[in-house]
């Protein structure tokens, strides 16, 4: 067990070192994409916990990220606090909202829960992030401008220090991802997975459903909120658009596409969500055999839909899940030949 | 010393009284059995004790704690564990993990220290996994510790459920139909296992099961429920010979002899059969529920299928009507092979299946339900004959089906069936949960069906009433037909049928030795085979063993030898 833990820590360190170097040497746009990829990866990671581990459906993960972002913006631009303090407030706000959203989930499941969370996403999208009544929270139509930020007393302005923001984000992601993997195999993780497989027997075997479902929603929202809290730092301002309803739906779609039960799939999905649209807008136009063409962002959304259908048929456990199963299968087959194990069936 | 004290339990579902003032006492160290026909309220009482249902009235006292309204996890903390009839293991977790959940759900564990893998959590983790191994070892499940629970065959999953319940260190173990889906041999093993569990883990048990051979073998004391009330209680031997209990299972012994039934049966004998089922096999997932079922129904004949719960009667009907896909064998209806045809096509040929629970739409009115027949018939159907047959439905024509009583709902289902002008109606558990007077009325309707030349295939728990109305009957036992003959013959020899329900002492030892197919298999090998070998291969192996006239074990050993040589 301990050796497994060592392996995981090592894997996280290697991933951090490699990923931290990738944007170096690229232009600002790509650096921004990289940071955005980590923010989206947090959103997907929150679904790995909520859907992958506990089996609950949520279509308002972007709302949690948005609440984290606005709360952070309010603290930094409104009260001029240190950025880390603001992140703490953002995460706490998201956690609170998550627990509140979790209350209906105590009674609802499946499609009904999906509709309720969709409603919450819609309400926040229309009547909180874009409404005059909440200007104190959203900073008005322009949103909060975070052109000056300090972390541990160091300057972290997005215009000059995008790379440092990216590295802080990436380090945080690696830590949270490591904790998530550990959680999966731990006692608490087993209780959460027991709820996913059979709520009925989980309750009768001593798992407190109320507590663990609320905790799952709270923790999931906090993870999404942690990502969102860094959005003002990376983008320099907060606006409602990144956290609208459609992002929530995209989280759900891409989490399933990549494999909602696996932590690394969240990272994969984050890169997919941030980098592919940007590559399309940059290089997706030109002339081909004399005809001018343009691949817009809409094509990305269509591609996600098509990929999702293909994946559900061909790779039911998600891109990462099936990849993993294939590698393991090949490895065990090789082991069987070496060790001369004969299977009866 | 009383450990569990249930007083005056009453539960109502809508208008139906599922439990009516039942009291029960369970002593420490006792294995208490609870039996009764379908709809007697056993499962309801069981669910009240385990906290899944809240009673309308009454109290539950466990040791010194009042549990009447305590949530399930609170009961778990106090030492009540349960298993589930329909297997509720956590399928995507390993067997060992399944055992560790209840262990540390009851201990003091912390989500954050778990995620950080702090030394405290690591220590607790090791302790839990060692205890899980110990329990698995005692129940002879050690080799499955790392297997995903969902991949195991049903028989092993049952044992894992018991192991998981024991992981909670319970004082009281509630077992919900632990023998469901097991064959005679596995049931015999289960009985031994439960005795061993009581010795090793010092638990008391409350057992609900239809399988009399298990209840009679295992329990110290038996409660019998019928129509939500306590019918009898006592030692197993006394219960088996209690005329009240026999009557509850088989219905009252009827006095009148129906000579006219004989003539009807005789007259029809010359006609070719309307429905012919030949060596049908079917099941769900890894479980083969019926095999080698061969039966026939002639036009205008009433045929009853009887036998204990889980014997495969319902599955047979489902396989005939196309609701599930048969795995082997043939179904020929009206001269046409309909094996595995879609259900709606079979219905169009004139075979109507009224499933258990009646298959009605609760939010549609009586009249609209009957008019829906026009839709499948393809032309406007006059619904007046239905109201002539069931005057009560005319009064309630505007009422939603869901608000009707159980008996009235069954009438709607029968009326709907007769409007579609069928040639054969299959009725599954027509009298389930209904009062005797209503049941009598419904059986009268079955007579009307026959007078109109409609054949009927009945699955019925009220054996006496069924045999009263039927021309012929098939007795199911462990997934295949054990006995068949004219209803009058079966009725005259009551012991013949009683044996298949209440398990006589004489046949208990013989069924323990043989499996459902009637031949012997080495138990240890059976287990290995049931894990690794798909049902199809297993069946082929058994077939081959039978042909060669030697144990399946010998065949397997020989085949394994060949694999090794290569």
**Confidence class for position A344, pLDDT limits 50, 70, 90:** very low
Residue of A nearest to B73 (CA): A206
The reported pLDDT for the residue numbered B99 is 92
- Structure letter (DSSP) for residue A237: B
Cα of first residue to Cα of last residue in chain A, in angstroms, is: 31
Total count of residues recorded for chain B: 566
Q: What is the chain A residue with the closest CA to B115?
A: A183
Answer yes or no: do B455 and B487 share one domain: yes
Same domain, B428 and B416: no
Q: Is the residue at B300 inside a domain?
A: yes
Q: Which residues pair with B331 in a beta bridge?
A: B277
The distance of A162 to chain B (nearest Cα, Å) reads 30
**Residue B329 CA neighbour count, 13 Å, CB half:** 22
- Residue B11 maps to a domain: yes
**Smallest Cα distance from A226 to chain B, Å:** 17
Q: Which residues of B touch A189 (CB under 8 A)?
A: 114-115
Mean pLDDT of B403-408: 80
Chain A nearest-CA distance from B531, in A, is 10
What is d(CA B169, CA B150) in angstroms, rounded to the nearest whole number?
A: 24
CA-based nearest residue in chain B for residue A201:
B88
Residues of chain A positioned with their CB less than 8 A from the CB of B110: 188
List of residues 6+ apart from B226 with CB closer than 8 A: B36, B37, B40, B248
Tell me the CATH number at B56: 3.40.50.300
Q: In the prediction, which pLDDT does B557 show? A: 63
Confidence of residue B97 (pLDDT cuts 50, 70, 90): very high
Statement to judge: residues B321 and B446 lie in one domain = yes
User: Which is more confidently placed, A345 or B308?
Assistant: B308
Predicted ipTM of the assembly: 0.81
Q: Mutating which of B77, B101, B151, B537 best tests the A interface, going by the most A Cβ atoms within 10 A?
A: B101
Beta bridge partners of B62: B4, B65
| Domain-located, residue B292 | yes
Cβ atoms of B117 and A186 closer than 8 Å: yes
Q: Which domains can be identified in chain A, with CATH numbers?
A: 19-276 (1.10.3470)
Position A224 scores a pLDDT of 97
* Residue at a domain's end among B421, B438, B469: B421
The token pair at B465 is 């009433």
Partner-chain contact B92 A200, CB within 8 Å: no
Contacts of B164 in chain A (CB under 8 A): 205
Given B250, B270, B295, the domain boundary residue is: B250
Number of C-beta neighbours around residue B258 at 10 A:
16
Query: Which residue, of B250, B278, B303, is where some domain finishes?
Result: B250
- Any domain includes B359: no
Task: Tell if the CB–CB gap between B91 and A197 is shorter than 8 Å.
Answer: yes
Based on the fold, state whether residues B442 and B505 are members of the same structural domain: yes
What is the distance between the alpha carbons of residues A262 and B276, in angstroms, rounded to a whole number?
52
Put simply, the answer to whether A190 touches B560 (Cβ < 8 Å) is no
**Residue-wise pLDDT tens digits, A135-189:** 888 888 778 888 778 887 777 776 678 888 899 999 999 999 999 998 898 888 8
Residues B207 and B120 in one domain: no
Q: Do B90 and A203 touch (CB under 8 A)?
A: no
The least confident of A99-103, A151-155, A335-339, B257-261 is B257-261
Do residue B326 and residue B460 come from a single domain? Answer: yes
Q: Which of A2, A99, A206 to mutate to test the interface with B (most CBs of B within 10 A)?
A: A206
Q: Which of residues 547-566 of B touch A (CB under 8 A)?
A: 560, 563-564
User: Is residue B106 within 8 angstroms of chain A, CB to CB?
Assistant: yes
Same domain, yes or no: B2 and B131: no
| Residue B457 shares a structural domain with residue B312 | yes
Q: How is the beta sheet containing B172-176 ordered, strand by strand?
A: B80-82, B172-176, B204-208, B31-35, B221-226, B229-234
Cα angle for residues B30, B33, B39 (degrees, 5° grid): 150
Partner-chain residue, chosen from B75, B88, B534, that has the shortest CB–CB distance to A201 = B88
In a domain, B181, yes or no: yes
Residue in this structure with the two tokens 């208008």, named with its chain if needed: B15
pLDDT at B469 over 80: yes
Between B407 and B251, name the one with better pLDDT: B407
- The pLDDT of residue B128: 86
The verdict on B105 and B239 lying in the same domain is no
Residue A15, min C-alpha distance to chain B (Å): 19
Within this chain, do residues B443 and B530 fall inside the same structural domain, yes or no? no
- Domain tally, chain B: 5
Distance CA B233, CA B39 (A): 18
Question: Which of B88, B105, B563 shows the shortest C-beta gap to A342?
Answer: B563
**Distance between CA B268 and CA B288 in Å, rounded?**
34
CA distance, residue B7 to nearest chain A CA (Å): 22
Question: Does residue B471 lie within any of the structural domains?
Answer: yes
> What is the H or E stretch that residue B249 is in?
helix B243-250
User: Both B431 and B416 in a single domain?
Assistant: no
Residue B517 lies in a domain: no
Q: Would residue B360 count as lying in a domain? A: no
Strand partners, B24: B6
Give me the domain span that covers residue B42: 1-79+170-250
CB contact under 8 A, A183 and B109: no
- Among A1, A5, A190, the residue with its CB nearest the CB of B100 is A190
Best of A6, A45, A177, A186 to disrupt the B interface (most B CBs within 10 Å) is A186
* Token reading at B462: 């009220």
Q: Using one digit for the tens of pLDDT, what is the confidence trace for A66-87?
A: 999 999 999 998 888 889 999 9
Cβ-nearest to B111 among A207, A215, A345: A215
Sign of the dihedral defined by the CA atoms of residues B462, B467, B472, B475, in that order: positive
What is the DSSP code string of A72-127? HHIIIIIH---HHHHHHHHHHHHHHHHHHHHHHHTT--HHHHHHHHHHHHHHHHHH
Q: Are A129 and A141 in contact (CB under 8 A)?
A: no
- Please, which residues 176-205 of chain A have a Cβ atom closer than 8 Å to chain B? 179-180, 182-183, 186-191, 193-194, 196-198, 200-205
One domain for residues B5 and B43: yes
């Amino acid at each position: 067990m301990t050796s497994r833990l060592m392996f995981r820590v090592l894997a996280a360190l290697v991933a951090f070192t490699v990923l931290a170097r990738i944007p170096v040497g690229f232009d600002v746009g790509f650096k921004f994409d990289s940071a955005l990829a980590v923010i989206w990866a947090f959103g997907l990671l929150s679904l790995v916990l909520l859907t992958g581990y506990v089996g609950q459906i949520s279509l308002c993960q972007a709302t949690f990220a948005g609440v984290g972002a606005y709360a952070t913006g309010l603290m930094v631009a409104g009260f001029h606090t240190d950025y880390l303090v603001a992140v703490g407030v953002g995460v706490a706000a998201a956690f609170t909202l998550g627990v509140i959203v979790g209350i209906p989930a105590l009674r609802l499941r499946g499609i009904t829960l999906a509709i309720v969370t969709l409603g919450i996403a819609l309400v926040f999208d229309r009547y909180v992030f874009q409404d005059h009544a909440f200007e104190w929270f959203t900073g008005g139509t322009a949103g909060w401008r975070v052109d000056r930020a300090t972390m541990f007393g160091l300057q972290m302005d997005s215009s000059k220090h995008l790379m440092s923001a990216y590295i802080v984000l990436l380090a945080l992601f690696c830590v949270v991802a490591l904790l998530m993997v550990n959680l999966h195999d731990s006692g608490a993780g087993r209780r959460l997975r027991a709820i996913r497989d059979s709520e009925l027997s989980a309750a009768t075997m001593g798992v407190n459903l109320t507590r663990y479902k609320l905790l799952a929603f709270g923790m999931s929202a906090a993870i999404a909120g942690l990502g969102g809290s860094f959005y003002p730092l990376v983008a320099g301002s907060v606006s409602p658009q990144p956290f609208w309803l459609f992002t929530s739906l995209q989280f759900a779609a891409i989490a399933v596409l990549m494999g909602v039960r696996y932590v690394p799939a969240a990272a994969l999905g984050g890169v997919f969500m941030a980098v592919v649209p940007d590559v399309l807008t940059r290089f997706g136009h030109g002339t081909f055999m004399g005809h001018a063409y343009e691949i817009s962002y809409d094509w990305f959304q269509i591609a996600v839909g098509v990929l999702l259908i293909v994946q559900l048929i061909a790779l039911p456990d998600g891109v990462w899940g099936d990849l993993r199963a294939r590698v393991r299968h090949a490895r065990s087959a090789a082991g069987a030949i070496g060790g001369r194990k004969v299977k009866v069936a | 010393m009383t450990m569990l004290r249930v007083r005056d339990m009453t539960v109502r579902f809508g208008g139906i009284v599922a439990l009516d003032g039942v009291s029960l006492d369970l002593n420490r160290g006792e294995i208490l059995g609870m039996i009764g026909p379908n709809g007697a309220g056993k499962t309801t009482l069981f669910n009240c004790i385990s906290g899944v249902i809240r009673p309308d009235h009454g109290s539950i006292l466990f040791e010194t704690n009042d549990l009447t309204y305590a949530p399930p996890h609170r009961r778990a903390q106090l030492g009540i564990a349960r298993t589930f009839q329909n297997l509720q293991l956590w399928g995507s977790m390993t067997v060992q993990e399944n055992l560790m959940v209840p262990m540390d759900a009851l201990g003091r564990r912390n989500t954050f220290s778990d995620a950080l893998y702090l030394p405290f959590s690591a220590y607790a983790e090791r302790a839990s996994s060692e205890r899980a191994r110990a329990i698995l070892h005692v129940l002879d499940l050690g080799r499955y510790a790392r297997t995903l629970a969902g991949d195991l065959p049903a028989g092993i999953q049952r044992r894992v459920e018991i192991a998981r319940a024991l992981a909670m260190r319970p004082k009281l173990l509630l077992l919900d139909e632990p023998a469901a889906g097991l064959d005679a041999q596995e049931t015999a093993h289960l009985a031994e296992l439960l005795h061993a569990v009581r010795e090793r883990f010092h638990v008391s048990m409350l057992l609900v099961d239809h399988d009399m051979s298990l209840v009679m073998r295992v329990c110290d004391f038996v409660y019998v429920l019928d129509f939500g009330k306590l019918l009898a209680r006592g030692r197993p031997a006394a219960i088996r010979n209690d005329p009240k209990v026999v009557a509850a299972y088989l219905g009252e012994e009827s006095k009148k002899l129906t000579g006219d039934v004989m003539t009807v049966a005789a007259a029809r004998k010359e006609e070719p059969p309307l429905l012919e089922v030949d060596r049908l096999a079917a099941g769900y997932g890894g479980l083969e529920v019926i095999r080698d079922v061969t039966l026939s129904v002639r036009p205008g004949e009433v045929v009853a299928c009887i036998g204990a719960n889980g014997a495969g009667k319902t599955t047979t009907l489902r396989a005939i009507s196309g609701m599930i896909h048969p795995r082997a064998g043939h179904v020929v209806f009206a001269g046409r092979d309909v094996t595995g045809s879609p259900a709606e096509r079979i219905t169009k040929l004139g075979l109507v299946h009224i499933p258990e629970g009646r298959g009605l739409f609760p939010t549609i009115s009586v009249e609209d339900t009957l008019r829906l027949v026009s839709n499948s018939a393809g032309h406007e159907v006059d619904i007046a004959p239905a109201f002539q047959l069931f005057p009560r439905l005319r009064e309630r024509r505007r009422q939603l089906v869901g608000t009707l009583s159980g008996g009235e709902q069954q009438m709607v289902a029968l009326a709907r069936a007769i409007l579609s002008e069928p040639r054969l109606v299959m009725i599954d558990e027509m009298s389930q949960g209904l009062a005797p007077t209503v049941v009598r009325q419904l059986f009268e309707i079955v007579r009307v069906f026959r007078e109109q030349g409609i054949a009927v295939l009945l699955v019925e728990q009220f054996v006496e009433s069924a045999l009263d109305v039927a021309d012929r009957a098939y007795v199911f036992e462990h997934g295949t037909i054990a006995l068949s003959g004219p209803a009058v013959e079966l009725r005259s020899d009551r012991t013949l049928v009683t044996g298949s329900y209440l398990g006589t002492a004489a046949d208990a030892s013989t069924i323990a030795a043989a499996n459902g197919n009637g031949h012997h298999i080495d138990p240890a090998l059976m287990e290995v085979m049931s894990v690794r070998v798909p049902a199809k291969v297993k069946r082929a192996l058994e077939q081959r063993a039978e042909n060669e006239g030697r144990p399946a074990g010998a065949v397997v050993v020989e085949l394994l030898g060949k694999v090794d040589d290569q």
